[in-house]
Every structure is written in C-alpha cells, then in structure tokens.
Amino acid sequence: MPSSIALLVTGASTGLLAGGASCAAVQGGLLAGAVTRRRTPAASSTSTPTCKPSSPPASRGTTTTLAKDRPAAAANASEPKPLAPVGAFLAGKLLSHTVLGALLGVFGDALQPSPRTQAVLLLVAGAFMVLFALDLFGVKAVGRLVPRPPASFGRLLRRSAKTDSVATPALIGFATVLVPCGVTLSMELLAVSSGSAVAGAAVMAGFVLGTSPLFAALGYVFRRTGRARSGSLAALTGVVVLAVAVWTMASALQAGGWVSFQDDKPAAASQAFTVEGGSQGEPGGGGKPAPGAPVRIDASGRQIVTVTVTEVYDPHQFTAKAGVPTTLVLHGQGANGCARAFTIPELGVREIVEQDGDTKIDLGKRKPGTLRFSCAMGMKTGAINFQ
C-alpha cells in the first residue's frame, strides 16, 4: 500500500531527525539498565590465575600459561557481544510499538480526538520534554515534576544487572511503549488518524527504526563503559531535547490553528476570482476559467476552492470571497506524508486526503476572516483569507 509506505518513511524520518534524542532522554535509563551488566563472582574469581611454585620451569612456560588462558577464553566465550543486548532491546521496542500502531489504526475512529485536543496533547508533551531537558541539566527543582518509570521497572533492571540473558533487554525494550516521549505521542496521533491497522503499524515501526541508530550507539557506549549518564552526555542530550521541545510546541500551536509561523501573504494569483460563465472578478461575463485557478465560482454560484496536496499544500495562502457557499477541494497529486492528514482546527475537520483524487469539504458561507488549516502534526500549514 503506497500510503503505508509513505507513513513508514514519515515515521522513520521523524524518528531519525527529531525522535531519537527526545526518546533517549526519557528511555535512556531503561536502555542503560537493560544493556549494562555487572560481572558475576564466578567470573571474577576465574579471572585471577594462580601458579604453583613447585612446578618445573619448563611446565611454567607451557601448562601454566595455558591454564591462565583457558579461564579468560572461557569468560570471553560466555560473555555476549556488546551489541547483542542492544539488538534485543531494540527488537522488543519495535515489536511493542508496531502492535500499538496497528491497534491505534484499527480503533482510530473511536479514539481520534479533535484537532485542537491533539494540539493540546502535543503542547503538554512539549512541556514535559522541557522538564526532561532541565532534569538532564541537573536542575533539582524539576526533579519531582519529571515522570519516572514505574517501580516495577526498577526491580526488573536490578534483576537484569545480574544476568547476561538477552530476554531481559528484549522485555524492557517491549515495555518502553509505556514510557513514551513527546515525539512518540505525535506519531501515535498520526497512527490514530491513519484509520488502518497496516498504516498505523507502518508509522510506528518506521518511527522506532528511525530512532534506532542513536539508541544503538548509546547502547553500545553504555555496554562498554557501564555508565548510564556522564555529565557531558546528559548536557548534550538536554540541549537536543530542549530544541525538539520548542519544535514540538511550535508545531502544536500551528496544529491548533492559533498561530502560523509561515508567510501569511496571500498568493498573488488568487487575488482575482475565476467565474465560470463570466469574466474574472465579475459573474456572467462569458469568460473561461483560468487554468489551475485556486478559487472559482461555478455556474450555480458556489465557490470552489482547490488546494493541491503533495508533500505540501499548494497554494498554502490565498484569498476567497466571504458570504458565498464554499466547497474546499483537496486535490491529491501523489499525496504522502503528514500532509495527507488534513485538519481545519476551527471547524473540527479531519480528513485523510486521497493519494490521487479529490476530497471535498463543505465550508458553508464563511464570514470575513482567516481560516487556518494544517496537517495533523502542525508541520504543514496554510490559510484562506475570506473577504
């Protein structure tokens, strides 16, 4: 399914560019506990070789050396490779998030909140990310406000530190679905709006795959050093998380239709209205519609506003007439990514745009003013200025 592939790519790119640092801040402690191991007493005792003073010189150079090498070789053979627990953690995480995405897609119609409710949830997620960033900077005042994993996770991590089994990291990775970061929440909202189990699973699986390179690198470092949080690593992660928090909250404000950070100047081509059966700007003049005009009035007097949807909205700023029955036509032309999840927050409108086809929305008779629209994540925005 092309739409599922597009959502897979959207999830992967979001995870790679924004989700890795955000989720690492929230789930980094789980990752560190899952992949960091302490040596068992047996392993420690075998690492200290003993030599018998009564052995002949010849045997000390041969058999004693072999005796020294055997325990080390056995320990190395029994110790898993550094990336084995990291891979198990990521596999568990991928499985749980893919299942969650499928469930969100199936029950999307029942679970889907309004566009402005989604925007509020994103704002809350961004606020929590700010708290996580401040906690990483060592600000003690926010310690009680930062959500922590359940106590059962702590017990699981303590048990995992005593074993080298890859089952434990896989289980902890699976459980990360219960500790989402802010960007994960936005992906879950996109999965809900997909309305399909396959599409929902695709976006969540893509997101986890996108975050995997950073998690794999951190897991390798944790496994090698055994240190979950050094000061420099925590500070660097905090800077990135703070930047992602600002991005998330800005997107939320746009997704709610409250502000727009894009150019609000209407497209020059939309200043004149095309009237079927008349001339531009004046009904009944006998002219022909201009090719590709974003705003036209048909013979019945209904205003038709057309927006082409690809990866963006084109045009994204234009003018239309107020007080005229209006239909918005979303013309999908290879539409993909979050642009397909079209919303008009003020009206509570949510539509999944046809990939290649038209999706029609009745806007009624609009009063003078600006009507904002955006994708479900607030990344692609636009506005119709009715006058």
Residue 59's pLDDT is what? 44
Q: Among residues 232, 255, 278, which one ends one of the domains?
A: 255
**CB atoms < 10 A from the CB of 21, how many?**
24
Helix or strand or coil: residue 271?
coil
Q: Name which of 119, 182, 127, 110 is nearest 345 in CA terms.
A: 119
Between residues 169 and 81, the one the model is more confident about: 169
Contact 376, 255 (CB under 8 A): yes
Do the domain assignments include residue 263? no
Contact 90, 23 (CB under 8 A): no
Query: Any idea what DSSP says for residue 321?
Result: -
Between residues 67 and 102, the one the model is more confident about: 102
Percent of the chain surpassing pLDDT 90: 22
**CB atoms < 10 A from the CB of 240, how many?**
18
Question: What is the distance between the alpha carbons of residues 376 and 340, in angstroms, rounded to a whole number?
Answer: 9
Query: Any idea what DSSP says for residue 368?
Result: S
**CB atoms < 10 A from the CB of 49, how many?**
13
Same domain? 180 vs 124: yes
Q: Name which of 290, 249, 268, 255 is nearest 127 in CA terms.
A: 249
Same domain? 83 vs 119: yes
Range of the domain at 301: 268-386
Residue 291's pLDDT band (boundaries 50, 70, 90)? very low
Between residues 39 and 32, the one the model is more confident about: 32
Which amino acid makes up residue 292? Answer: G
Supply 89's token pair: 């953690």
Question: What is the distance between the alpha carbons of residues 385 and 319, in angstroms, rounded to a whole number?
Answer: 5
Do the domain assignments include residue 260? no
Question: What is the distance between the alpha carbons of residues 294 and 314, in angstroms, rounded to a whole number?
Answer: 9
Residue 275's pLDDT band (boundaries 50, 70, 90)? low
CATH number at residue 325: 2.60.40.420
Do the domain assignments include residue 262? no
Residue pLDDT, tens place only, 207-260: 999 988 888 887 777 766 654 445 666 677 677 777 777 877 888 898 888 988
